[in-house]
C-alpha cells in the first residue's frame, strides 16, 4: 500500500501553521505552502549550481535546515497532542482489503509523520511491519524531502544521497513484482515528478500486477494519472473507491488493443 496525506485527518495543519507568517490573520493554503517550500529548494539548487559565492550557499542551506527542523517540531507536537490521527476507514481497509489477501506486505508513504505507522502497530498483529518513508520522517529533519526535491541534489551529502537511493531501489523492486497495489490518499502531485517516474518505471516491467485499488475522495483524478502511467502491454484492473463506501468500486480500467 502507498499512502499519502489523505490517509490522515489534519495532516496539513502543522505544516500550514509552521509556514504561515505571524502577521497573517488566517493560515495559508496548501498551494501557498508548497510554493514556499519549493522556493527554498529552488534557491539552494540555483546557488549550488550557478554561484561561486559560498556565503549565499551557506545562507540557503541554513535557511532550509532551520525550516526542516521547524516543520518536524510542529508535526511532532500535533501528532503527540492527538490533533493528527488516521481516518476511520484505514482500519476497514486493513481488515477487508489487505489482511485476507496479502501475505507479503509493504507500506510506502510520502508522509513526514508516523501517525499511520503507530496505528498499524496498534491495530494489527503483523510480526514485522515495514513502512518506508520515501520523503523522510519528522524523527530526522535531515531526511525531509521538500516539494520538487529529487534524490540527487548537489547540496546533499553522499551519505544522504545513498540513503535515498536505497529507499528508492527497495520501492522500485517491490512495485515491480507486486500483484496488488492499494493507493490511499495519495495524489501523485506534479510537484513530485520523481515518484511519478518511479511508479511509471515499475509498472512497465511488472508482469504480475493484477489490480490497483485507489481510495480517495476523488478517485477519478488519481485513476486518470495512473492510466497515463500504465504500459499498454497488458490489462490491469483499476478500481476507485470513495472512503465512505469501500464496497462499491468504480471501474477505471482501460481496454488496450
Q: What is the pLDDT of residues 61-81, one digit of tens each?
A: 999 999 999 999 999 999 999
Q: Are residues 183 and 70 in the same domain?
A: no
Top pLDDT among 18 and 165 is at 18
Query: Do 194 and 74 share a structural domain?
Result: no
Residues 72 and 126 in one domain: no
Model confidence pLDDT, tens digit, residues 120-136: 888 876 666 789 999 99
Query: Into how many domains does the chain fold?
Result: 2
Q: Cβ(154)–Cβ(185) under 8 Å? A: no
8 vs 103, higher pLDDT? 8
Residues 96 and 169 in one domain: yes
* Ranges assigned E (strand) in the chain: 2-3, 8-9, 85-86, 107-109, 131-133, 180-184, 211-215, 237-242, 245-251
Task: Pick the last residue of a domain from 36, 59, 80.
Answer: 80
Sign of the four-CA dihedral 77, 82, 83, 84? positive
Residue of 37, 236, 238, 53 lying closest to 144 (CA atoms): 37
Q: What span, in angstroms and rounded, lies between the C-alpha atoms of 140 and 117? A: 15
pLDDT digits (tens, 9 = 90+) for 22-63: 999 899 999 999 999 999 999 999 988 876 678 888 999 999
The reply to whether 226 falls in a domain is yes
| pLDDT tens-digit series, residues 229-251 | 886 656 899 999 999 999 999 99
- Examine the domain organization and report whether 147 and 49 are in the same domain: no
End-of-domain residue from the set 61, 80, 99: 80
Look at residue 257 and tell me if it is in a domain.
no
Among 10-24, 115-129, 135-149, the range scoring the smallest mean pLDDT is 115-129
Between β-strands 211-215 and 8-9, what pairing exists: parallel, antiparallel or unpaired? unpaired
Its pTM stands at: 0.93
Residue 51: what pLDDT? 62
Range of the structural domain that residue 17 is part of: 13-80
Q: Are residues 97 and 193 in the same domain?
A: yes
3-state secondary structure of 130: coil
Rounded CA-CA distance 130/108 in Å is 8
d(CA 144, CA 137): 6
Q: How many CA atoms lie within 13 A of 225 on its CB side?
A: 18
154 & 198 share domain: yes
Amino acid at each position: 500500500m502507498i499512502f499519502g496525506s489523505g490517509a490522515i485527518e489534519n495532516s496539513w495543519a502543522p505544516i500550514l501553521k509552521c509556514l504561515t507568517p505571524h502577521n497573517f490573520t488566517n493560515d495559508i493554503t496548501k498551494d501557498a505552502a508548497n510554493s514556499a517550500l519549493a522556493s527554498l529548494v529552488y534557491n539552494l539548487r540555483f546557488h549550488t549550481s550557478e554561484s561561486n559565492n559560498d556565503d549565499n550557499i551557506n545562507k540557503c542551506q541554513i535557511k532550509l535546515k532551520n525550516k526542516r527542523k521547524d516543520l518536524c517540531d510542529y508535526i511532532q507536537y500535533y501528532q503527540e497532542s492527538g490533533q493528527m490521527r488516521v481516518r476511520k476507514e484505514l482500519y476497514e481497509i486493513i481488515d477487508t482489503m489487505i489482511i485476507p489477501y496479502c501475505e507479503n506486505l509493504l507500506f510506502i508513504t510520502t508522509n513526514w509523520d508516523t501517525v499511520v505507522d503507530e496505528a498499524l502497530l496498534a491495530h494489527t498483529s503483523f510480526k514485522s511491519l515495514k513502512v518506508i518513508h520515501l520523503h523522510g520522517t519528522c524523527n530526522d529533519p535531515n531526511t525531509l524531502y521538500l516539494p520538487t526535491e529529487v534524490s540527487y541534489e548537489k547540496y546533499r551529502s553522499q551519505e544522504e544521497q545513498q540513503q535515498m537511493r536505497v529507499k528508492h531501489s527497495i520501492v522500485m523492486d517491490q512495485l515491480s513484482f507486486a500483484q496488488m497495489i492499494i493507493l490511499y490518499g495519495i495524489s501523485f502531485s506534479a510537484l513530485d515528478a520523481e515518484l511519478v517516474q518511479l511508479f511509471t518505471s515499475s509498472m512497465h516491467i511488472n508482469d504480475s500486477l493484477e489490480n490497483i485499488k485507489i481510495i480517495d475522495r476523488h478517485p477519478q483524478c488519481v485513476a486518470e494519472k495512473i492510466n497515463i502511467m500504465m504500459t499498454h502491454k497488458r490489462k490491469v484492473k483499476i478500481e476507485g473507491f470513495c472512503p465512505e463506501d469501500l464496497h462499491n468500486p468504480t471501474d477505471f480500467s482501460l481496454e488496450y488493443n
